[in-house]
Structure 1
Amino acid sequence: MTMILANWPLLCTPPAANSINRSSWLQNVSILQSSSSVSLPITTISAHRCCINNKDENTATTSLEEFSVLKPDNGIDNGNLWSTMALYMFSLHIPLSFGGLSVVASILGQSSLDPQTEAVCLLGIQILELQAVLWGSTYFMKNKTPLFDLLRIFQPNNNSNLSGERNWVFASIVGFGFLLLIVFSTSFLADQLTSSKEVNNHILKEIVSSGFISKGACVLVYCIITPLLEEIVYRGFLLRSLVSAIGWRGAVVVSSVVFSLAHFSVEDSLQLFIIGCILGCSYCWSGKLSSPLLIHSLYNSFILIVTFLA
């Protein structure tokens, strides 16, 4: 199973470039011309204006690129990258996440699982998927095949000149606050434009309310195991590998699209894409996987609390 979403219906603006007072500059030129017999050619003024514009554009581009401290990672080429993602999707993610509970129900001879059994089985399935990813990384790296190199994923991959100024806790707080702002604003707009809609998932509500064991299993799954699993795959591996090929902005967009599609939820696809972008930006800015991991965990915790209290 994947990231919990409330049914809300459904970064980096560069610093302003150094400005130059062109009118003041031209006024000084006029005074100089009137006080001397030497006149400045129009082409000189035009060339100076062109240099100013180019300087402004270069400053803005540099500021935007400096948003990310991730260094290009040449550990895996594009062919291996997408074949690895396909291997993960079709051999682990889809069979376990979308067929695991059905297999358990068939083994137990039941048409459907009761909420407590479902919560415990869900926990076991997610642990199995995470363990498979960890085992796969160890096995393939021993055979010198770049799959999920966990040592490479969890090592800070950043520019040392900027990373000292980037606090991953601060990035997590800002990212989580921005995410909540989007959730509340879109929910408010939806209530104004459409009829009011309950935000809680009825199935999840039933599971969480079925007992202490179910609550504990849901907390472990949605607040610890799932965030760890998904951040390793979609940010630590996919986004980080894409940076060297298409830059950090393209990597954030592409990894967020894959993140959204991997949940197989058309209704929640836009929300998932936005969440993926926020998580990706926090990783790029901080250079540490702990930042999107914390945001992911806090968001799921928030949705669990809302669901339980609704």
Structure 2
Amino acid sequence: MRIRVSQEGGLDWPILKRWDVPWQWQTASLTSFACGLSFVLTGLAETAAIPLLGIKIEELSLDEKAELLFLDQSITTAMVLGVIYGITNTFQPLPEDMFRYDLREPFNLQKGWLLWAVIGLVGALLVIALTGVAMSAFSGETPHRETDSLVRLLPLIGSSSISTACLVGITGVLAPILEETVFRGFFMVSLTKWVPTPISVLISAAVFAIAHLTPGEFPQLFVLGIILGFSYAQTRNLLTPITIHAFWNSGVILILTFLQVVTLLLVVES
């Protein structure tokens, strides 16, 4: 990591640098509210539209259910990102390090998005594992893991290449792009207008964990959110947290797929 000396003579750490946020708290608050509202309304509209279109969920095949989930996530992603970009574009020109998705210099020591994604992912695996061990030792119970929330997808995972591809597309592409743009790209960055960057990382990580509505997984999601936030603060490139998030999610899907295939092979052999 390159450490620069600021004009005041102090050390200038990249992860401590704030963003030059052009909007005020009213815009940040209303945009956050609009994102949440569009997420809820999109879900309600889709739920109401399904019977009107003559679609009966219980009669759909596994592939069709997976395709419907993919369509749902695609519409939700488009709507929420449309709200963010529609509002923030009124403040053009934005600083270069805001909403930046830059494929260049992936292995640059200071800001390489792929290098820091690998570092962040390894760090997430280690820290979250230690968090689970500490929680288990403290409470005497096995803590919930993020994989628990994906167990309900088991009937779709591995049933066919189509369903697996749809789920990887949801968890490994659409969800990371949506969540990292909202929680890190907009919310965390906006907070740096009023609080230091490390504090904004912690606040956004807490909101990120709460937004998943899985209280048992809060510690792990909070730790993951912290790592995602600091990795973004280091590189100023949203591809970094998106890549970490994508591999975290899709890795779970691929592991569950592998376990299901192994289980089926054992059943066949027996």
* Offset from partner CA, 1:84-122 (integer Å, 9 cap, x none): 10111012x23445x577446534244586543332111
Matching residue within 36, 40, 43 for 1:94: 40
Q: Partner of 1:176 in structure 2?
A: 121
Contact 1:69/1:287 (CA < 8 Å) preserved in 2?
Answer: no
Look up the match of 2:82: 135
SS at match of 2:242: helix
CA distance in 1, matches of 2:23, 2:88: 12
- Corresponding residue of 1:247: 196
Shift of 1:132: 1.9
The structure-2 alpha-carbon separation of the partners of 1:104 and 1:95, relative to structure 1 and needing over 3 Å to count, comes to same
**Given the alignment of the two structures, is residue 166 of structure 1 paired with residue 111 of structure 2, yes or no?**
yes
Are residues 90 and 309 of structure 1, via their aligned partners in 2, closer, same or farther at CA, if it must alter by over 3 Å? same
* Equivalent residue, structure 2, for 1:221: 170
Question: Percent identity at matched positions?
Answer: 21
Offset of 1:221 from its aligned partner? 0.9
Q: For 1:283 and 1:151, how far apart are their aligned partners in 2?
A: 10
Gaps of 5+ in 2: 103-107, 260-270
1:250 aligned partner, one-letter code: I
Q: Is the 2:209–2:225 Cα contact (8 Å) retained in structure 1?
A: yes
Q: In the TM superposition, what is the alpha-carbon distance from 1:222 to its structure 2 partner? A: 0.8
SS of the residue 2:195 aligns to: helix
Separation of aligned partners in 1, 2:95 and 2:83? 9
Q: Which residue of 2 aligns with 1:303?
A: 252
CA contact (8 A) 2:121 2:244 kept: yes
The verdict on how the C-alpha distance between 1:69 and 1:167 changes in structure 2, with shifts beyond 3 A counting, is: farther
Deviation track 1:106-157 (CA, whole Å, cap 9, x = no partner) reads 3424458654333211111111122223433554456x368x999941178x
Could you say what the CA RMSD is over the residues aligned between the two structures, in angstroms?
3.5
8 Å CA contact 1:179, 1:275 repeated in 2? yes
The amino acid across from 1:206 in the alignment is P
Q: 2:161 aligns with which of 206, 212, 237?
A: 212
Deviation of residue 210 (structure 1)? 2.3
Aligned partner (choices 178, 181, 185) of residue 236 of structure 1: 185
Other-structure match for 2:28? 81
Q: What's the secondary structure of 1:154's corresponding residue?
A: coil
1:249 shift after superposition: 1.1
State the alpha-carbon separation in 2 of the partners of residues 270 and 195 from structure 1: 13
**Quick one: distance in 1 between partners of 2:142 and 2:18?**
47
Give the unaligned 5+ runs of structure 1.
1-14, 16-57, 157-162
Structure-2 separation of matches of 1:197 and 1:75: 40
Q: d(CA) in 1 for partners of 2:237 and 2:15?
A: 11
The answer to whether the 8 A contact 2:100-2:236 is kept is: no
Q: What is the CA distance between 1:304 and its match in structure 2? A: 0.9
**SS of structure 1 residue aligned to 2:124:** helix
Give 2:73's match in structure 1, choosing from 119, 126, 148. Answer: 126
User: Residues 264-301 of structure 1: CA distance to partner in whole angstroms, max 9, x if unpaired?
Assistant: 22222222211111100101122221111111111112
Aligned pair 1:154/2:103, yes or no? no
TM-score by length of 1: 0.66
2:231–2:240 Cα contact (<8 Å) kept: yes
Bigger mean CA deviation after superposition, 82-91 or 197-206: 197-206
Kindly state the Cα deviation for residue 224 of structure 1 after the two structures are TM-superposed.
Answer: 0.9
Q: Which moves more between the two structures, 250-259 or 164-173?
A: 164-173
Deviations 1:191-227 (A, max 9, x none): 7744698955432111113222111101111111111
- Larger-gyration structure (1/2): 1
1:117 equivalent among 59, 64, 67: 64
Does the aligned pair in 1 maintain the 2:100–2:237 contact within 8 Å? yes
**Residue 137 to residue 194, structure 1, CA distance change in 2 (3 Å):** closer
**1:280 matches 2:225:** no
TM-score using structure 2 length: 0.74
